[in-house]
Amino acid sequence: MPLGERLRELRRTTGMTMEQLSEASGVSVRAISDMERGHIRAPQPRTLAALAEALRVTGAERRRLEEDARALRMHTAAARPRLCEPPRAVTDFVGRCAELDLVRHAAETGSDSSPVPVVVVHGQPGVGKTAFAVRAADLLRDRFPDGRLHVDLRGVDPEPATAGEAATMLLKALDVNPRRIGSTDEERCSQVRATLRDRRCLLVLDNAADEAQLRPLLPGAGPGLVVVTSRRMLGGLEGVLRIGLAPLEPAESAALLRAIAGQAADPAAAGDVETVSRLCGHLPLALRIAGTRLANRSGWTVGNLVARLADADRRLANLHTGDTGVAAAFALSHAQLSGTGAALFRRLAHVPGADFAAPLAGVLTGSDPYDAADRLDELVELGLLQHEGADRYRFHDLIRLFAGERLRVEEPAGMRAATRTRMARWLLETTIVAGRWFEPGYGCLPEGWDGPVPLATLEEAGEWLQAEAGNWLAALRIAAEAGDDQLVVDVAEALHWFSDTMVTWPGWYEVYGLSRTAAARLPDRRLEVVHLNYYSWAATTCVRRLDEGARAALAARRLAVELGDVKEEAWALQYLGTALRFSGRFEEALDAFRRAQHLADLVGDHDGYLQLFQGIGLALMSLGRHVEALAEFRSTLREVRLRPVAPRPALGATLLARFSVAQALVELGRWREAIREAELAMPLAIEYGEPGALGHVHLAIGMARAGLGAAAEARSELNRALELFQGTAHEHVTGEVRSALAALRG
């Protein structure tokens, strides 16, 4: 039975006139008459509920009434032209499961009396915000029988849609009589909010420009849901759920490529598919374009696509098909930048490392860090830059390429070269200042230094050096390419003591490779032997190139003997001994260490002398002579109190001796003594700040706990040691840790 006839029958059954029903329900006589005659579309849920209450309709009869109303709404919607219809959903949507669950949960929290949930989906250009919103609307269509409406707010156009224009479109889509649509933007937005209050609609406001454009359109209480997409975070909106979309996971990228292009589905192409995904930065728009180009060229393999995308200078040009291009998507955000924002954006292409902080951005533009931070936030807001932790930033790989294109187009070569040189020199000068905090002869800021980086303490200096390692290492390459040999040597020398806090970093191999080459070109031959020794240490200890480390140590020793430099000869013998010990040549290593210690003592090199007890002890441990090794380690603890050694070298020597004593006691089966020694080493390791040293402390405690039969405690300590050793040059120790854990499980 049609809805109008059912309403008339129910009214007559109750004996009510239209006027009486109007008075009881609050619905106008005209509206009731139009409904009964079928002259207007189905009433909204609130109107129907008021009529049902007045007619005392309950149970099955009320459900039939609601079903008739729903069927009429669907018939009416199908019969009229569809306005604000969502765009076609992609058939190969992948990933975003967690994010879609968040939208689904938000939809479930809505009710007639609570504020309409608003979800803001934000992210960089090309990350798939619109596709995500359309996918969410499609999955939730059954929850919103009154419709799913989509409005493109044209937020990145030169003239975005006004709230009033969007409201007019929505009112027409919501079947509001054109003659009743308000004459002002404020009136139309108010009508949208009032109309949505009674309707179970899902509203997608796509490509929003800013908060001011959105606020007038957002409904108050009601049973609907609003999904907003924007390149901006829209931080000024309160009480909304924000979902930031990141590039896809590698497996999702591969799945998308396979769904688009048949060539990518061949298992033999898996490696090339992975490479294409990486070259596209796992960005959905780039992946879709790359996949479409591949699918449209039946003669291509995925390898052909890899070859096209491998050229960084042509990659963005190759990520273009038809009227869609990655660079064009970036350009829309770029066009919205202020003049200073655009200058910073292109100059950030000079940054060589993966991430950076505001002071480096300030150097590139000649501004102070606070002004630079404001401009960086502008780039983040437009999706052209990403936050990396609390105060660092990074480019998406493809946006970095776009910034580089803008830099080449907008600045002449001379200006680009000058900016690059200024950046590199600032990085290296700051590196020298920070590194000298760790040198026994310095240990403070130079008088009058007023750089933009906080380096007032050793801890601040160390944090900066670690955070900016990728940038200052690249700057060192720039100085080496320019032939600035003295600067290269000065930087490497300033980092010598700091390197002990990052022993496992493989970058030292390049640092001291560059400084060795630079020192060989300078007139001071002593610098050449010093940096040959540093290079030997890096080759042996940091990257485990043992033959190379031994050859460098032997070359350094020959040159030291030629120059009569006994101190550097001792260091060369020490580094040779380390390479020999790592190579399993323990007797030869022991001999080299003992000769080195004699020479160090002869010339009063107390730092070198103390370190050699460690080398001798470790060689003896490898030979199974644990009692002798224990005596050597304890000699360090005695001598460090007797010799004039600077505080930080003394800390390092004491730490090494303590955990080595613990390890020797473990080998001797003296478990409780080993634990006591390791516990004395623990605060020293924490203060020193080198993960591998702390790992050795936990290893000693774990092995001692295992020896005492405390399996659970041993596993905890050994797992902690494993975490600290992972991904470092201490990986040769991880086999020992895993074997110990396996023994505990057995």
One-letter amino acid identity for 698? H
Is-contact 147 128, C-beta < 8 A? no
Output the pLDDT for position 364: 95
The 10s digit of each residue's pLDDT in 634-647 is 999 999 999 998 88
Cα distance between residue 269 and residue 301, in whole Å: 8
Question: Is 457 within the bounds of a domain?
Answer: no
Q: Which helix (H) or strand (E) holds 136?
A: helix 129-139
Q: What is the mean pLDDT of residues 12-36?
A: 79
Output the pLDDT for position 78: 46
- The answer, yes or no, to whether residue 633 has pLDDT greater than 60, is yes
Please, what's the b/e burial string for 95-118 (b: 16 or more CB within 10 A of its CB; e: otherwise)? Answer: bbeebbebbeebbeebeeeeebbb
The 10s digit of each residue's pLDDT in 436-461 is 999 887 888 888 888 899 899 999 99
pLDDT band (50, 70, 90) for residue 731: low
Is-contact 196 203, C-beta < 8 A? yes
The conformation of residue 538, written as its DSSP 8-state character, comes to I
As a whole number of Å, the CA-based R_g of the chain is 36
Q: Which two tokens stand for residue 491?
A: 């930087």
pLDDT band (50, 70, 90) for residue 37: confident
With 0-12 / 13-18 / 19 or more C-beta atoms within 10 angstroms meaning exposed / middle / buried, residue 177 is exposed
- The answer, yes or no, to whether residue 115 has pLDDT greater than 60, is yes
Task: Report the alpha-carbon angle 204-129-186, nearest 5.
Answer: 35
Q: Which two tokens stand for residue 661?
A: 């004593």
- The answer, yes or no, to whether residue 81 has pLDDT greater than 60, is no
Please report, rounded to a whole number, the percentage of residues in the chain having pLDDT higher than 70: 96
Cα distance between residue 211 and residue 217, in whole Å: 10
Per this entry, what is the length of the chain? 746
Question: Is 458 within the bounds of a domain?
Answer: no
Query: In this structure, how many other beta carbons lie within 10 angstroms of the beta carbon of residue 688?
Result: 18
Output the pLDDT for position 82: 60
Kindly state whether residues 294 and 217 are assigned to the same domain. no
Q: Residue 475's closest CA among 427, 406, 508?
A: 427
Kindly state whether residues 318 and 334 are assigned to the same domain. no
- The answer, yes or no, to whether residue 343 has pLDDT greater than 90, is yes
Q: Sign of the C-alpha dihedral, residues 482, 483, 486, 489?
A: positive
One-letter amino acid identity for 359? P
Query: Domain range for residue 74?
Result: 3-79
Q: Residue 319's closest CA among 346, 292, 297, 299?
A: 292
DSSP-derived secondary structure for 423-488:
HHHHHHHHHHHHHGGGSTT--SPPTT---SS--SSHHHHHHHHHHTHHHHHHHHHHHHHTT-HHHH
Secondary structure E strands in 100-183: 111-115, 118-122, 148-152
Residue where a domain stops, chosen among 217, 244, 271: 244
Instruction: Please provide the average confidence, as pLDDT, over all residues in the chain.
Output: 90
The 10s digit of each residue's pLDDT in 287-314 is 999 999 999 988 899 999 999 999 999 9
Query: In this structure, how many other beta carbons lie within 10 angstroms of the beta carbon of residue 173?
Result: 22
pLDDT band (50, 70, 90) for residue 80: very low
Q: What is the mean pLDDT of residues 154-169?
A: 89
DSSP-derived secondary structure for 9-78:
HHHHHHT--HHHHHHHH---HHHHHHHHHT-SPPPPHHHHHHHHHHTT--HHHHHHHHHHHHHHHHHHHH
Which ranges of 282-367 would DSSP assign to H, the alpha helix? 284-295, 302-310, 312-318, 326-334, 339-347, 358-365
Cα distance between residue 614 and residue 574, in whole Å: 11
Residue where a domain stops, chosen among 201, 226, 244: 244
The 10s digit of each residue's pLDDT in 564-608 is 999 999 999 999 999 999 999 999 999 999 999 999 999 999 999
- The answer, yes or no, to whether residue 73 has pLDDT greater than 80, is no
- The answer, yes or no, to whether residue 411 has pLDDT greater than 90, is yes
CA 55, 58, 63, 64: dihedral to nearest 10 degrees?
A: -50
The 10s digit of each residue's pLDDT in 131-149 is 999 999 999 988 888 888 9
- The answer, yes or no, to whether residue 425 has pLDDT greater than 70, is yes
Please name the residues in contact with 186: beta carbons below 8 A apart, sequence gap of 6 or more: 164, 216
Residue 228: strand pairing partners = 120, 205
The 10s digit of each residue's pLDDT in 229-285 is 999 999 899 999 999 999 999 999 999 999 999 999 999 999 999 999 999 999 999
Out of 24-33, 245-254, 444-453, 730-739, the most confident range is 245-254
Kindly state whether residues 652 and 612 are assigned to the same domain. yes
174 or 730: which carries more pLDDT confidence?
Answer: 174
Residue carrying structure tokens 């516990």:
679
Q: Which helix (H) or strand (E) holds 634?
A: helix 626-642
Kindly state whether residues 17 and 105 are assigned to the same domain. no
Question: Is 375 within the bounds of a domain?
Answer: yes
Kindly state whether residues 643 and 745 are assigned to the same domain. yes
Output the pLDDT for position 636: 94
Cα distance between residue 254 and residue 264, in whole Å: 8
DSSP-derived secondary structure for 214-255:
HGGG---EES-EEEEEESS--TT--S-EEEE--PPPHHHHHH
Kindly state whether residues 230 and 110 are assigned to the same domain. yes
Kindly state whether residues 287 and 360 are assigned to the same domain. no
Question: Is 505 within the bounds of a domain?
Answer: no
Output the pLDDT for position 126: 93
- The answer, yes or no, to whether residue 77 has pLDDT greater than 60, is no
Question: Is 240 within the bounds of a domain?
Answer: yes
Kindly state whether residues 345 and 271 are assigned to the same domain. no
Question: Is 519 within the bounds of a domain?
Answer: no
Q: Which two tokens stand for residue 460?
A: 């601040």
The 10s digit of each residue's pLDDT in 502-559 is 888 899 999 999 999 999 999 999 999 999 999 999 999 999 999 999 999 999 999 9
Q: Residue 452's closest CA among 473, 469, 468?
A: 468
The conformation of residue 348, written as its DSSP 8-state character, comes to G
- The answer, yes or no, to whether residue 76 has pLDDT greater than 60, is no
Residue where a domain stops, chosen among 411, 426, 451: 411
Query: In this structure, how many other beta carbons lie within 10 angstroms of the beta carbon of residue 311?
Result: 11
Kindly state whether residues 190 and 236 are assigned to the same domain. yes
Domain count, the chain: 5
Kindly state whether residues 386 and 277 are assigned to the same domain. no
CB under 8 A, 24+ apart: contacts of 382-388? 382/231, 382/232, 382/333, 382/336, 382/337, 383/122, 383/123, 383/124, 383/125, 383/127, 383/231, 383/232, 383/333, 384/124, 384/125, 384/330, 384/333, 384/334, 384/337, 384/345, 385/345, 385/348, 386/124, 388/355
Query: In this structure, how many other beta carbons lie within 10 angstroms of the beta carbon of residue 628?
Result: 15
Kindly state whether residues 317 and 340 are assigned to the same domain. no
Kindly state whether residues 725 and 705 are assigned to the same domain. yes
Is-contact 623 590, C-beta < 8 A? yes
Out of 199-213, 479-493, 641-655, 680-694, the most confident range is 479-493
pLDDT band (50, 70, 90) for residue 690: confident
- The answer, yes or no, to whether residue 79 has pLDDT greater than 50, is no
Question: Is 744 within the bounds of a domain?
Answer: yes
493 to each of 270, 413, 528, 728, how far by Cα in Å? Answer: 46, 33, 12, 23
Cα distance between residue 275 and residue 266, in whole Å: 15
CATH of the domain at 13: 1.10.260.40
Query: In this structure, how many other beta carbons lie within 10 angstroms of the beta carbon of residue 611?
Result: 22
Question: Is 479 within the bounds of a domain?
Answer: no
Cα distance between residue 407 and residue 342, in whole Å: 10
Q: Residue 313 CA to chain centroid, in angstroms?
A: 24
Query: Which of left, alpha, beta for 324 (phi over 0: left; psi -120 to 50: alpha)?
Result: beta
Q: What is the mean pLDDT of residues 387-394?
A: 88
Cα distance between residue 719 and residue 90, in whole Å: 45
Q: Which two tokens stand for residue 437?
A: 């905090």
CATH of the domain at 391: 1.10.10.10
How far separated are the first and last CA of the chain, in Å rounded?
A: 76
